[in-house]
Structure 1
Amino acid sequence: MADKEKIGVLCSGRGTNLQSIIAAVESGQIPAPIGVVLTDKPDVMALERAEKAGIPNFCVNRKECSDKQEFEEKLVEKLREHGVTLVVLAGFMRILSPYFVRAFKGRILNIHPALLPSFPGAHAHRDVLEYGVKVSGVTVHFVDEGMDSGPIILQAAVPVEDDDTEDTLAARVLVEEHKIYPRAIELYLKNKLKVEGRMVRILK
Protein backbone atom coordinates (compact mmCIF):
# COMPACT_ATOMS: atom_id res chain seq x y z
CA MET A 1 0.00 0.00 0.00
CA ALA A 2 2.61 2.50 1.13
CA ASP A 3 4.66 2.35 -2.08
CA LYS A 4 1.80 4.08 -3.88
CA GLU A 5 1.15 6.60 -1.14
CA LYS A 6 2.26 10.20 -0.92
CA ILE A 7 1.68 12.58 1.99
CA GLY A 8 0.57 16.19 1.79
CA VAL A 9 1.05 18.25 4.95
CA LEU A 10 -0.99 21.39 5.69
CA CYS A 11 0.42 23.86 8.23
CA SER A 12 -0.22 27.37 9.51
CA GLY A 13 2.80 28.15 11.68
CA ARG A 14 6.01 26.79 13.16
CA GLY A 15 5.70 23.30 11.76
CA THR A 16 7.06 21.35 14.71
CA ASN A 17 4.78 18.40 13.96
CA LEU A 18 5.86 18.69 10.33
CA GLN A 19 9.46 18.36 11.52
CA SER A 20 8.64 15.20 13.48
CA ILE A 21 6.96 13.75 10.39
CA ILE A 22 9.95 14.65 8.19
CA ALA A 23 12.25 12.90 10.69
CA ALA A 24 10.03 9.81 10.71
CA VAL A 25 10.07 9.68 6.89
CA GLU A 26 13.84 10.03 6.84
CA SER A 27 14.27 7.26 9.45
CA GLY A 28 11.99 4.92 7.55
CA GLN A 29 9.30 4.79 10.25
CA ILE A 30 6.83 6.41 7.85
CA PRO A 31 6.98 4.35 4.64
CA ALA A 32 5.96 7.06 2.16
CA PRO A 33 7.39 10.41 1.07
CA ILE A 34 5.99 13.86 1.73
CA GLY A 35 4.91 15.09 -1.69
CA VAL A 36 4.16 18.69 -0.78
CA VAL A 37 3.80 21.05 2.19
CA LEU A 38 1.13 23.75 1.96
CA THR A 39 0.50 26.70 4.26
CA ASP A 40 -2.27 29.28 4.39
CA LYS A 41 0.14 32.06 5.41
CA PRO A 42 3.40 33.28 3.86
CA ASP A 43 6.71 33.50 5.70
CA VAL A 44 5.98 30.81 8.28
CA MET A 45 8.62 28.46 9.61
CA ALA A 46 6.85 25.39 8.22
CA LEU A 47 7.83 26.52 4.71
CA GLU A 48 11.45 26.88 5.80
CA ARG A 49 11.45 23.39 7.30
CA ALA A 50 10.05 21.93 4.08
CA GLU A 51 12.56 23.84 1.96
CA LYS A 52 15.46 22.64 4.10
CA ALA A 53 14.26 19.04 3.68
CA GLY A 54 13.97 19.45 -0.09
CA ILE A 55 10.18 19.08 -0.09
CA PRO A 56 8.06 21.09 -2.58
CA ASN A 57 6.27 23.80 -0.61
CA PHE A 58 3.76 26.53 -1.39
CA CYS A 59 1.68 29.15 0.36
CA VAL A 60 -1.95 29.24 -0.71
CA ASN A 61 -2.72 32.59 0.90
CA ARG A 62 -6.29 32.70 2.16
CA LYS A 63 -6.23 36.51 2.02
CA GLU A 64 -5.58 36.40 -1.72
CA CYS A 65 -8.61 34.18 -2.39
CA SER A 66 -12.05 35.62 -2.99
CA ASP A 67 -13.72 33.11 -0.66
CA LYS A 68 -13.24 29.84 1.19
CA GLN A 69 -14.29 27.79 -1.83
CA GLU A 70 -11.57 29.28 -4.05
CA PHE A 71 -9.02 28.79 -1.26
CA GLU A 72 -9.88 25.12 -0.82
CA GLU A 73 -10.04 24.49 -4.56
CA LYS A 74 -6.46 25.77 -4.81
CA LEU A 75 -5.39 23.51 -1.94
CA VAL A 76 -7.00 20.47 -3.57
CA GLU A 77 -5.42 21.35 -6.91
CA LYS A 78 -1.93 21.56 -5.38
CA LEU A 79 -2.38 18.31 -3.47
CA ARG A 80 -3.55 16.45 -6.56
CA GLU A 81 -0.84 18.03 -8.68
CA HIS A 82 1.73 16.43 -6.37
CA GLY A 83 0.03 13.03 -6.25
CA VAL A 84 -1.04 13.26 -2.61
CA THR A 85 -3.09 10.34 -1.28
CA LEU A 86 -3.00 11.15 2.46
CA VAL A 87 -3.59 14.66 3.81
CA VAL A 88 -2.04 15.40 7.20
CA LEU A 89 -3.12 18.51 9.09
CA ALA A 90 -0.25 19.68 11.28
CA GLY A 91 -1.24 22.85 13.07
CA PHE A 92 -3.49 23.92 10.20
CA MET A 93 -5.70 26.54 11.82
CA ARG A 94 -8.65 26.48 9.45
CA ILE A 95 -11.82 24.42 9.54
CA LEU A 96 -12.17 22.51 6.30
CA SER A 97 -15.48 22.51 4.46
CA PRO A 98 -17.41 19.41 3.37
CA TYR A 99 -16.07 20.08 -0.15
CA PHE A 100 -12.46 19.50 0.95
CA VAL A 101 -13.29 16.59 3.26
CA ARG A 102 -15.15 14.80 0.45
CA ALA A 103 -12.25 15.36 -1.95
CA PHE A 104 -10.05 13.21 0.32
CA LYS A 105 -12.73 11.22 2.16
CA GLY A 106 -11.25 8.89 4.75
CA ARG A 107 -7.75 10.12 3.88
CA ILE A 108 -7.32 13.17 6.14
CA LEU A 109 -5.67 13.00 9.57
CA ASN A 110 -5.60 15.73 12.21
CA ILE A 111 -3.88 16.14 15.57
CA HIS A 112 -5.61 17.96 18.42
CA PRO A 113 -3.94 19.03 21.70
CA ALA A 114 -6.55 17.58 24.08
CA LEU A 115 -8.31 14.30 24.76
CA LEU A 116 -11.26 14.44 22.38
CA PRO A 117 -14.21 14.54 22.52
CA SER A 118 -13.41 16.92 25.40
CA PHE A 119 -12.16 20.42 24.58
CA PRO A 120 -12.44 20.64 20.80
CA GLY A 121 -11.69 23.87 18.95
CA ALA A 122 -8.82 26.33 18.71
CA HIS A 123 -8.24 27.07 22.42
CA ALA A 124 -7.88 23.61 23.94
CA HIS A 125 -5.19 24.42 26.51
CA ARG A 126 -7.03 27.49 27.76
CA ASP A 127 -10.27 25.52 28.01
CA VAL A 128 -8.55 22.64 29.84
CA LEU A 129 -7.08 24.98 32.47
CA GLU A 130 -10.31 26.92 32.93
CA TYR A 131 -12.28 23.70 33.47
CA GLY A 132 -9.80 22.39 36.02
CA VAL A 133 -9.31 18.86 34.71
CA LYS A 134 -6.34 16.91 36.05
CA VAL A 135 -5.44 15.12 32.81
CA SER A 136 -5.17 16.44 29.28
CA GLY A 137 -3.31 15.08 26.29
CA VAL A 138 -3.35 14.71 22.54
CA THR A 139 -5.57 13.01 19.98
CA VAL A 140 -4.94 11.91 16.40
CA HIS A 141 -8.15 11.37 14.48
CA PHE A 142 -9.64 11.03 11.03
CA VAL A 143 -11.24 14.23 9.77
CA ASP A 144 -14.94 14.21 9.01
CA GLU A 145 -17.29 17.07 8.22
CA GLY A 146 -17.59 18.17 11.87
CA MET A 147 -15.06 20.02 14.04
CA ASP A 148 -12.61 17.67 15.77
CA SER A 149 -15.29 14.99 15.60
CA GLY A 150 -13.86 12.20 13.43
CA PRO A 151 -12.98 8.67 14.58
CA ILE A 152 -10.07 8.59 17.02
CA ILE A 153 -6.89 6.73 16.03
CA LEU A 154 -4.47 7.31 18.94
CA GLN A 155 -4.41 9.29 22.17
CA ALA A 156 -1.78 10.04 24.80
CA ALA A 157 -2.45 11.46 28.26
CA VAL A 158 -0.55 14.32 29.90
CA PRO A 159 -1.04 15.36 33.55
CA VAL A 160 -2.17 18.91 34.25
CA GLU A 161 -0.10 20.50 37.02
CA ASP A 162 -1.54 22.99 39.51
CA ASP A 163 0.81 25.74 38.36
CA ASP A 164 0.44 25.10 34.62
CA THR A 165 0.01 27.95 32.17
CA GLU A 166 -1.18 27.50 28.61
CA ASP A 167 2.46 27.59 27.50
CA THR A 168 3.78 25.02 29.98
CA LEU A 169 0.92 22.63 29.31
CA ALA A 170 1.28 23.10 25.56
CA ALA A 171 5.00 22.30 25.76
CA ARG A 172 4.39 18.98 27.55
CA VAL A 173 1.56 18.03 25.22
CA LEU A 174 3.75 18.83 22.21
CA VAL A 175 6.29 16.20 23.29
CA GLU A 176 3.56 13.56 23.02
CA GLU A 177 2.27 15.01 19.73
CA HIS A 178 5.68 14.41 18.16
CA LYS A 179 5.54 10.76 19.24
CA ILE A 180 2.02 9.72 18.30
CA TYR A 181 1.46 11.60 15.04
CA PRO A 182 4.23 9.77 13.14
CA ARG A 183 2.96 6.52 14.67
CA ALA A 184 -0.61 7.15 13.49
CA ILE A 185 0.60 7.99 9.98
CA GLU A 186 2.72 4.82 9.98
CA LEU A 187 -0.31 2.72 10.99
CA TYR A 188 -2.43 4.27 8.25
CA LEU A 189 0.19 3.72 5.56
CA LYS A 190 0.77 0.12 6.66
CA ASN A 191 -2.97 -0.53 6.33
CA LYS A 192 -3.25 -1.27 10.05
CA LEU A 193 -6.34 0.88 10.72
CA LYS A 194 -9.85 -0.46 10.34
CA VAL A 195 -12.68 2.04 10.82
CA GLU A 196 -15.93 0.58 12.12
CA GLY A 197 -18.35 3.42 12.75
CA ARG A 198 -16.71 5.55 15.43
CA MET A 199 -14.27 2.81 16.37
CA VAL A 200 -10.80 2.65 14.81
CA ARG A 201 -9.31 -0.79 15.32
CA ILE A 202 -5.53 -1.19 15.13
CA LEU A 203 -4.75 -4.45 13.36
CA LYS A 204 -1.86 -6.66 14.36
Structure 2
Amino acid sequence: MASGSGSNFEALVQACRGGHLHAEVALLVVNNPGCGAQARAERLGVPWQLHDHRTQPSREQLDQALVKAFRGAAVDVVVMAGWMRVVTPTLIGAFAERLVNIHPSLLPSFRGLDAVGQALAAGVTLTGCTAHLVCEEVDAGRILVQAAVPVLSDDDHASLSARIQRQEHRILPLAVALTAQQLGEPG
Protein backbone atom coordinates (compact mmCIF):
# COMPACT_ATOMS: atom_id res chain seq x y z
CA MET A 1 0.00 0.00 0.00
CA ALA A 2 1.49 3.33 -1.03
CA SER A 3 0.35 6.92 -1.43
CA GLY A 4 3.43 8.70 -2.70
CA SER A 5 6.68 8.15 -4.55
CA GLY A 6 6.89 4.43 -3.82
CA SER A 7 10.57 4.16 -2.92
CA ASN A 8 9.83 1.70 -0.08
CA PHE A 9 7.65 -0.32 -2.46
CA GLU A 10 10.51 -0.51 -4.94
CA ALA A 11 12.97 -1.45 -2.18
CA LEU A 12 10.71 -4.40 -1.29
CA VAL A 13 10.44 -5.50 -4.93
CA GLN A 14 14.23 -5.29 -5.31
CA ALA A 15 14.77 -7.25 -2.07
CA CYS A 16 12.49 -10.00 -3.39
CA ARG A 17 14.02 -10.08 -6.85
CA GLY A 18 17.55 -9.95 -5.45
CA GLY A 19 16.94 -12.97 -3.22
CA HIS A 20 17.26 -11.02 0.04
CA LEU A 21 13.58 -11.55 0.86
CA HIS A 22 12.02 -14.87 -0.08
CA ALA A 23 8.71 -13.40 -1.13
CA GLU A 24 6.91 -11.83 -4.05
CA VAL A 25 5.15 -8.49 -4.21
CA ALA A 26 1.84 -9.73 -5.58
CA LEU A 27 -0.06 -6.44 -5.69
CA LEU A 28 0.45 -2.74 -5.10
CA VAL A 29 -2.52 -0.66 -4.02
CA VAL A 30 -2.32 3.12 -4.36
CA ASN A 31 -4.85 5.72 -3.27
CA ASN A 32 -3.55 8.68 -5.29
CA PRO A 33 -4.03 8.42 -9.06
CA GLY A 34 -0.78 8.87 -10.96
CA CYS A 35 1.44 8.78 -7.88
CA GLY A 36 5.08 7.75 -8.14
CA ALA A 37 4.38 4.31 -6.68
CA GLN A 38 2.00 3.57 -9.55
CA ALA A 39 4.66 4.53 -12.10
CA ARG A 40 7.21 2.34 -10.32
CA ALA A 41 4.80 -0.62 -10.38
CA GLU A 42 4.27 -0.17 -14.11
CA ARG A 43 8.04 0.04 -14.72
CA LEU A 44 8.70 -3.01 -12.53
CA GLY A 45 5.84 -5.07 -13.97
CA VAL A 46 4.02 -5.42 -10.65
CA PRO A 47 0.20 -5.55 -10.75
CA TRP A 48 -1.40 -2.51 -9.17
CA GLN A 49 -4.84 -1.19 -8.32
CA LEU A 50 -6.16 2.26 -7.52
CA HIS A 51 -8.41 2.54 -4.47
CA ASP A 52 -8.96 6.29 -4.21
CA HIS A 53 -10.12 7.15 -0.69
CA ARG A 54 -11.88 10.23 -2.07
CA THR A 55 -14.39 8.03 -3.91
CA GLN A 56 -15.30 5.91 -0.89
CA PRO A 57 -18.12 6.92 1.46
CA SER A 58 -16.16 5.80 4.56
CA ARG A 59 -12.79 4.52 5.75
CA GLU A 60 -14.41 1.18 6.52
CA GLN A 61 -15.66 0.80 2.95
CA LEU A 62 -12.21 1.65 1.62
CA ASP A 63 -10.69 -0.97 3.90
CA GLN A 64 -13.33 -3.54 2.84
CA ALA A 65 -12.27 -2.96 -0.77
CA LEU A 66 -8.61 -3.35 0.23
CA VAL A 67 -9.31 -6.64 2.04
CA LYS A 68 -11.12 -7.95 -1.03
CA ALA A 69 -8.22 -6.92 -3.31
CA PHE A 70 -5.56 -8.50 -1.09
CA ARG A 71 -7.52 -11.70 -0.62
CA GLY A 72 -8.09 -11.86 -4.37
CA ALA A 73 -4.32 -11.67 -4.88
CA ALA A 74 -3.71 -14.36 -2.20
CA VAL A 75 -1.63 -11.94 -0.11
CA ASP A 76 -0.16 -13.26 3.15
CA VAL A 77 1.42 -10.06 4.52
CA VAL A 78 0.27 -6.50 3.79
CA VAL A 79 2.81 -3.66 3.94
CA MET A 80 1.91 -0.02 4.44
CA ALA A 81 4.87 1.57 2.67
CA GLY A 82 4.02 5.25 2.79
CA TRP A 83 0.23 4.75 2.99
CA MET A 84 -0.85 8.14 4.25
CA ARG A 85 -4.24 7.03 5.59
CA VAL A 86 -5.33 5.76 8.98
CA VAL A 87 -6.71 2.24 8.58
CA THR A 88 -9.70 0.78 10.39
CA PRO A 89 -10.29 -2.42 12.34
CA THR A 90 -11.72 -3.85 9.09
CA LEU A 91 -8.25 -4.08 7.52
CA ILE A 92 -6.38 -4.62 10.79
CA GLY A 93 -8.60 -7.55 11.76
CA ALA A 94 -8.44 -9.18 8.33
CA PHE A 95 -4.63 -9.18 8.47
CA ALA A 96 -4.03 -9.40 12.23
CA GLU A 97 -0.30 -9.75 12.97
CA ARG A 98 0.27 -9.56 9.18
CA LEU A 99 -0.06 -5.79 8.58
CA VAL A 100 3.33 -4.03 8.63
CA ASN A 101 3.92 -0.26 8.60
CA ILE A 102 7.10 1.75 8.14
CA HIS A 103 7.30 5.02 10.07
CA PRO A 104 10.06 7.69 9.93
CA SER A 105 10.86 7.92 13.64
CA LEU A 106 12.11 5.81 16.50
CA LEU A 107 8.72 4.94 17.89
CA PRO A 108 7.21 5.60 20.34
CA SER A 109 8.64 9.08 19.68
CA PHE A 110 7.07 11.30 17.01
CA ARG A 111 3.98 9.29 16.12
CA GLY A 112 1.58 10.45 13.42
CA LEU A 113 2.09 12.92 10.60
CA ASP A 114 5.39 14.63 9.75
CA ALA A 115 7.60 12.71 12.16
CA VAL A 116 10.69 14.26 10.54
CA GLY A 117 9.35 17.76 11.14
CA GLN A 118 8.47 16.79 14.71
CA ALA A 119 12.03 15.56 15.32
CA LEU A 120 13.56 18.73 13.88
CA ALA A 121 11.23 20.93 15.94
CA ALA A 122 12.08 19.01 19.10
CA GLY A 123 15.80 19.52 18.53
CA VAL A 124 16.71 15.85 19.03
CA THR A 125 20.13 14.62 17.98
CA LEU A 126 18.95 11.10 17.11
CA THR A 127 15.90 9.89 15.24
CA GLY A 128 15.36 7.07 12.77
CA CYS A 129 12.71 4.73 11.49
CA THR A 130 10.57 1.89 12.76
CA ALA A 131 8.86 -1.04 11.09
CA HIS A 132 5.99 -2.22 13.24
CA LEU A 133 2.80 -4.23 13.20
CA VAL A 134 -0.34 -2.14 12.82
CA CYS A 135 -2.90 -1.96 15.61
CA GLU A 136 -5.90 0.31 16.13
CA GLU A 137 -3.84 3.02 17.83
CA VAL A 138 -1.79 4.99 15.27
CA ASP A 139 1.91 4.06 15.22
CA ALA A 140 1.60 2.06 18.44
CA GLY A 141 1.86 -1.54 17.25
CA ARG A 142 4.54 -4.05 18.21
CA ILE A 143 7.94 -2.91 16.97
CA LEU A 144 9.67 -5.31 14.59
CA VAL A 145 12.85 -3.45 13.51
CA GLN A 146 14.31 0.01 14.13
CA ALA A 147 17.27 1.92 12.72
CA ALA A 148 18.79 5.04 14.26
CA VAL A 149 19.79 8.08 12.21
CA PRO A 150 21.72 11.05 13.64
CA VAL A 151 20.26 14.52 13.24
CA LEU A 152 23.05 16.75 11.96
CA SER A 153 23.34 20.42 12.88
CA ASP A 154 22.75 21.51 9.28
CA ASP A 155 19.87 19.11 8.59
CA ASP A 156 16.68 20.32 7.03
CA HIS A 157 13.55 18.31 6.34
CA ALA A 158 14.83 17.05 2.97
CA SER A 159 18.30 15.98 4.08
CA LEU A 160 17.09 14.21 7.23
CA SER A 161 14.23 12.54 5.33
CA ALA A 162 16.67 11.22 2.73
CA ARG A 163 18.92 9.60 5.35
CA ILE A 164 15.94 8.11 7.18
CA GLN A 165 14.54 6.76 3.92
CA ARG A 166 17.80 4.91 3.16
CA GLN A 167 17.38 3.11 6.48
CA GLU A 168 13.69 2.42 5.79
CA HIS A 169 14.71 0.65 2.58
CA ARG A 170 17.10 -1.50 4.62
CA ILE A 171 14.81 -2.46 7.52
CA LEU A 172 11.45 -2.91 5.77
CA PRO A 173 12.43 -6.19 4.05
CA LEU A 174 13.74 -7.45 7.41
CA ALA A 175 10.41 -6.63 9.05
CA VAL A 176 8.49 -8.46 6.32
CA ALA A 177 10.76 -11.50 6.73
CA LEU A 178 10.22 -11.47 10.52
CA THR A 179 6.46 -11.25 10.05
CA ALA A 180 6.47 -14.14 7.59
CA GLN A 181 8.62 -16.24 9.93
CA GLN A 182 6.21 -15.64 12.81
CA LEU A 183 3.42 -16.91 10.55
CA GLY A 184 5.41 -20.03 9.75
CA GLU A 185 6.09 -18.89 6.19
CA PRO A 186 9.60 -19.05 4.75
CA GLY A 187 11.08 -15.56 5.19
| Normalised-by-shorter TM-score class | over 0.9
Once the two structures are superposed, residues 1-28 of structure 1 have per-residue CA deviations (whole angstroms, 9 ceiling, x without a partner) of xxxxxxxxx0001000011101001011
By percentage of residues, which structure has more strand?
1
Whichever residue aligns with residue 15 of structure 1, its letter is G
**Superposition CA RMSD, Å:** 1.4
Match of 2:154 among 141, 144, 163: 163
Query: What is aligned with 1:198?
Result: none
Match of 2:80 among 85, 89, 93: 89
Q: CA 1:177–1:47 in structure 2 vs 1: closer, same or farther (change >3 Å)?
A: same
Identity over aligned pairs, percent = 36
Query: What is aligned with 2:128?
Result: 137
Measure how far apart 1:162 and its partner are: 1.4
Unaligned runs of 5+ in 2: none
Number of matched pairs: 184
Is contact 2:144–2:178 with CA below 8 Å preserved after alignment? no
Structure 1 residue ranges (4+ consecutive) displaced by more than 4 angstroms after TM superposition: none
Question: Structure 2 length as normaliser, TM-score?
Answer: 0.94
Question: Structure 1 length as normaliser, TM-score?
Answer: 0.87
Is contact 1:139–1:152 with CA below 8 Å preserved after alignment? yes
Query: What is aligned with 1:98?
Result: 89
Query: What is aligned with 1:147?
Result: 138
SS where residue 185 of structure 1 aligns?
helix
Measure how far apart 1:147 and its partner are: 0.4
Using the alignment, how far apart are the partners of 1:192 and 1:153 within structure 2? 14
Once the two structures are superposed, residues 101-135 of structure 1 have per-residue CA deviations (whole angstroms, 9 ceiling, x without a partner) of 01111100011100000000111011101111110
Match of 1:109 among 100, 106, 112: 100
